[in-house]
Each structure stands twice: as C-alpha cells, then as structure tokens.
Amino acid sequence: MTRLHLAFSLALLAISAPGEGRAQQALIRWAYGPTARPGDAAFLVEGGAIHTASGPFGTRGPCVYLIEGDRVFRSADGNWARGECAYILDGPGLVHAGGPMCSRGTCALVVDGPAVFRSDGAFCSKAEAAFRIEGNVVHLAEGAFARKGDALLVIEGELSPVALLVILAGL
C-alpha cells in the first residue's frame, strides 16, 4: 500500500466515523411568546466557535467566542483568533475569567436541573433565577423556583452545555 493510499484511507475513515470528523453545528434563534415561535437567527455555533448570526437563514457573522475544553476565550478579531479568556466551566457553574491563563473570577451562572440562576461571588451561590431550559427552548425564569416565563431562544441542532451557558451569560 502506497503512502497516498494510506493517507486517503485514513482521511476516509476519519470522515465516515460516526460523530468523528464532523463539527458540531447549531443555530440559535430568538423565540417569541409562551409558545416559542421561532424568529430570526441570533447565534451560530460551529465546532468550537460561537458566531453572531442574522436573518431568517442564519447568516454567519463574526466570531465572538472560542471554546477550548472547559475554557472560553473571546475572539480577538472575529476570525477565530484567540483573545483574552472570558469564562471557565467549573462544576455546575460558569465562572468569569481573565487574562491569557484564565485566572478565575466571580461566578456568572449556576445550573440546577433545568433552571439556570444568576450568581455572584467566588462560591457560586444561587441568586435570582434567569432561565429555564425545556427541550430545545430556553425560557426566561422568575423567582426562587425558576417559574417559566416567555420563551427567549430556540435551539436547532446539537449544542454543548458550555456553548449554551456562554450565550446565556451574555444575555
């Protein structure tokens, strides 16, 4: 077997393996009312990048965040260039971070089942409810028990929990 055949075989195997070689892609749309009527695109997540999006078909805009494992970096130039650290995923919470080495800051969000709470301080204590996630719909939430309000976002496709929390932290 020649080197060309070997390289081609490995490339074909990587592309055809289920779940491997394919970038995660999700389109996040604004939602309206309690019935979550989908509207225009808000964000597009491709691989490890979160882009702004617009229009009914989700036209990709500039890259705003890059996800690398449990660390999230701001985009330096809108074209996948890694900038300063923005967040770290820490257990059930998303923590603000800063600098190139991701120095830990205060907690931003805490997840408790389907509810997402705002948080503040170093120990990620739950504050007021912010969002409630039901299936592929994110609703606004109110009160200590995260009572469901109007729909905010509709998710189309597979979206990692880190990407969803980063998007919610920015809202």
Q: Mind listing the pLDDT tens digit for each residue in 70-116?
A: 999 999 987 888 999 999 999 889 999 998 889 999 999 999 999 99
Q: 83 lies in which domain range?
A: 23-169
Domain annotation covers residue 109: yes
Asked whether the beta carbons of 63 and 50 are under 8 A apart, the reply is: yes
Tell me if 14 is assigned to some domain.
Answer: no
pLDDT tens, residue by residue, 8-66: 333 223 333 333 334 579 999 999 988 999 999 999 999 899 999 999 999 999 999 99
Domain membership of residue 11 (yes or no) is no
- Report percent pLDDT > 90 for the chain: 71
- Are 35 and 149 in contact by the 8 Å Cβ rule? The answer is no
Other Cβ atoms closer than 10 A to 94: 28
Cα 96 to Cα 106, 129, 161: the distances in Å are 5, 18, 16
- Domain count for the chain, please give it: 1
